Amino acid sequence: MTRAPLLQTKAPPTAKDDVDHSGVALGSVLVSLLEPERGREAAFHRWYERDHFYAGCMVVPWFFAGRRFVATRELKALREPQHTPLMDDVRLGSYLALYWMLAGHHADAVALAVEQVTWLNENGRMLAGRIQAHAGFYGHRWSVSRDADGVPAELALHHPFPGLVVLMLDRHEGVSQEAIDAWLREVYLPDALPGSAAALCLASHPFPLPDDAPSYVRRLEGLERRSMLLFFLDEDPRTHWRDLFGGVGERVAASGLGELTWLAPFIPTLPGSDRYADELW
């Protein structure tokens, strides 16, 4: 079978200030996965959408894109595996926010973001009762496009993709980052993307949280062996879930390189509405 071409765009491997500043390039990603307090789902959604999304991140210099996603009860039922080191309950994290930061400015952006959130907390602008399922900064490593002239990584949060899937895996002790990257780019993705609803895949690795990060943000172990893939889909993730992601955990295990840590589908929130707030549980 002839495979469709996969365009692989290498991103800066680190967040250091060593890139060409004549253009715009994705350097790092902020991931915020939150669970609202039961009975306050709509209030949480409105607070985050109408205040925190902007006041907590988008006003910070070097943040150039952001988008929010939601996992309804039906979407959360598809998550794998049933137990993950990422969180205590695999069903936690109904609302996901992703933010893009400009390459070469990671340290400055993180410092300003922490300062901003600290100020918001001190001034009563942080909604009480929410659960921080997962939060972290990730360094963008590379992207793979299904199409010859696909959506660039930098525009992924602006393009109206109707589906997102987050895949995290931990490589085994002694397995290098380069080895897992090679397997993903040369074996797994060439089989998974062509002809599928997955138009774009972004790969990144986690950075340690800064020492002055808010105390409620959970600090995880084993970050040095973790990779995160973000799949942007042309359709709702439920439409082709089995075809696209069925057996992913087994494939990762069969590679001998690592294990699946978390696989979770999302759809975008609808700004200006409370849609999905009553479908989380």
Q: How far is CA 157 from the centre of its chain?
A: 11
Determine contact, residues 21/27, Cβ cutoff 8 Å. no
Burial 175-204 (b: 16+ CB within 10 A, else e): beeebbbebbbeebbeebbbebbbbbbbbb
Q: Which residue has the tokens 């400009």?
A: 102
Compare 224 and 277 and report the one with higher pLDDT: 277
- For the chain, what is the radius of gyration of the CA atoms? 18
Compare 143 and 223 and report the one with higher pLDDT: 143
The rounded distance, in Å, linking the Cα atoms of 20 and 43 is: 42
- Asked if pLDDT for residue 85 goes beyond 60, the answer is yes
**Which range (10-24, 126-140, 231-245) has the least confidence?**
10-24
The rounded distance, in Å, linking the Cα atoms of 265 and 70 is: 9
**Which range (62-71, 89-98, 215-224, 266-275) has the least confidence?**
215-224
pLDDT for 170-221, tens place per residue?
999 999 999 999 999 999 999 999 999 999 999 999 987 666 555 555 555 6
* Residue 63 φ/ψ, nearest 5 degrees: -85, 120
- Residue 159 CB coordination number (10 Å): 14
Domains of the chain (ranges, CATH numbers)? 7-13+26-268 (3.30.70.100)
Per-residue pLDDT, 88: 85
- Three-state DSSP class for 81? coil
Q: Which residue has the tokens 């709509």?
A: 42
The rounded distance, in Å, linking the Cα atoms of 270 and 46 is: 11
Per-residue pLDDT, 45: 97
Helix then strand count (H, E) for the chain reads: 7, 9
The average pLDDT across 123-128 equals: 90
The rounded distance, in Å, linking the Cα atoms of 138 and 14 is: 10
Residue 142 banded pLDDT, cuts 50, 70, 90? very high
- Asked if pLDDT for residue 102 goes beyond 90, the answer is yes
Per-residue pLDDT, 217: 55
Determine contact, residues 167/138, Cβ cutoff 8 Å. no
Query: Over the chain, what is the mean pLDDT?
Result: 89
The average pLDDT across 42-50 equals: 96
Vertex 279 angle, CA 193 and 121, to 5° = 90
The rounded distance, in Å, linking the Cα atoms of 177 and 203 is: 11
- Asked if pLDDT for residue 23 goes beyond 90, the answer is no
- Asked if pLDDT for residue 18 goes beyond 70, the answer is no
Q: How far is CA 82 from the centre of its chain?
A: 19
